[in-house]
Amino acid sequence: MKRIALLFIGVILACSTKPVVVDEQTRGAIKQLTERLAQQPTNMPWIYVLATYHDKAGETDQVVRWLTRLDELGWQHGVSPIAFKNSRRSTFGNIVAKLDAREPRVNNAEVAFTIAGQRDLVPEGIAYDKLEDTFYVSGIYRRKVIRVEPTGRATDFVKEGQDGMLGGLGMKIDQANRILWVISSTTPEMRGYVKGQESSMLAAYSLGDGKLLRKIDPAPAQLNDLTLLEDGTIFATDMGGHTVVRLAPGADKFETYADGFGFPNGITNDGTYLYVADFRGLHRFTLADKTRTKIEVPNALLGGIDGLDFYRGTLIGIQNSIGNPRVIRVHLDTNRVEVLESRNRLFELPTTGAIAGGTYYFIANPGLRSFDENGSIWPAAKLSDPVMLKIAL
């Protein structure tokens, strides 16, 4: 859930009006990516990330150089302003405008409702309860979970910090047993964050009365998102460990299921396959025997997907770590990618969504850009009430 780009060695939130101090880590990343691109000169995601590192180093001329290379390669994902806060707009504005203009504009989304009175929630995870036609939304900054009616009226379901709640991330509902599963992890954007005290937990709440039923604590240090199987098995992504972990029904400890990911994020299943998104792309596992394959679509970039949902033979995901954010649909049978929403004026780093019936719902403006480089939230005036968008599938 939590955006991959911000964890890609801390590049994206480099923001300062002071002279740029280039740390050893940034220089090392620039060197490593430059060497990799010498071997794979047309790897556009690497080029984009390299440009963001040069921005962190305050090297606008190199930013322009690599963005120009993206233009030559036909880049169609635009340029996220949050990734280039150190570059001089007067210098690289022309190439940014050129790349942004090439990005297709697709506007299928409509406003479903606004969640009033939750400006500093910083919403992340979304789950839909079809029995009561109700949404549950987790909050990173406020460290809680709210219950939202279709009108947008919200009430606290898990109060701030209750049961040791950290920054609210992925959630899923076990409809048969009326349970809401919630992942929460330490994150710089949560209120009360203390650097060096990273931890995660998984909690189960009764949808009937909101009581805590179970808590797996501690869990892997950077749990992010989860998916449920019908037998009660839980799979979750661990961004810190670059792994997918598994919790067997009734177990009180996670076990490693698969490793070798690059910041695994969104995760879902269709009963036969497990699908995992990481910074580099989409991975599919056959649940019966753990056979692993990478999903490839010709002329399409599948890296940097955050929220991921399975729907009628397709994967719905929010791609927010490479270029401007967009909602995409991967058609698994015909092996093609469809852009459902892009260049929406309300977008402010959307992260995840949920499917209700035949409609996809997601928050357009979580407020994740309203933090400085130390993870401190800016004045509340910088935030807006979260707006839930919907797209008919």
Q: CATH no. for residue 156? A: 2.120.10.30
Q: Per-10-residue mean pLDDT for the chain, 393 residues long?
A: 45 39 87 95 93 93 96 94 82 92 96 94 96 97 96 96 97 98 94 88 97 91 94 96 95 96 96 96 97 94 95 97 95 96 94 97 90 61 87 98
pLDDT score recorded for residue 194: 86
The rounded distance, in Å, linking the Cα atoms of 48 and 43 is: 9
Tell me, rounded to whole angstroms, the distance of Cα 237 from its chain centroid.
12
- CA neighbor of 223 nearest in space, from 254, 248, 255, 201: 201
Strand partners, 205: 180, 212
Does residue 142 sit in the same domain as residue 162? yes
Within this chain, do residues 147 and 245 fall inside the same structural domain, yes or no? yes
Asked if 234 and 98 sit in the same domain, the reply is no
Provide the 10 A C-beta neighbour count for residue 309: 23
**Domain endpoint, select from 68, 85, 103:** 103
108-132 as b/e: b if 16+ CB within 10 A: bbeebbbbeebbebbbbbbbbbeee
Say if residue 242 is in the same domain as residue 310. Answer: yes
Q: What pLDDT score was predicted for residue 89?
A: 76
pTM for the model stands at: 0.91
Residue 380's pLDDT is: 56
Residues 261 and 336 in one domain: yes
How far is 52 from 67, CA to CA, in rounded Å?
10
The domain boundary, picked from 54, 75, 103, lies at: 103
Which residue range forms the structural domain that includes residue 384? 107-392
Statement to judge: residues 44 and 98 lie in one domain: yes
For residue 379, what pLDDT is reported? 57
**Does residue 93 sit in the same domain as residue 133?**
no
Give the number of domains in the chain.
Answer: 2
263 and 251 within one domain? yes
On whether both 224 and 141 belong to a single domain, the answer is yes
Contact 338, 319 (CB under 8 A): no
Alpha helices in the chain, H assignment, sequence order: 4-7, 24-39, 44-56, 60-73, 89-102
Instruction: Specify whether 134 is located in the same domain as 33.
Output: no
Residue 6 has a pLDDT of: 46
Q: What is the pLDDT of residue 3?
A: 44
88 and 163 in a single domain? The answer is no
Distance (Å, rounded) from C-alpha 80 to C-alpha 321? Answer: 9
Predicted confidence at residue 271, as pLDDT, reads 97
pLDDT (0 to 100) of residue 198: 87
Q: How much is the pLDDT for 16?
A: 34
Amino acid at 226: L
- pLDDT on residue 375: 60
Residue 120 and residue 71 share a domain = no
Q: Identify the pLDDT of residue 218.
A: 81
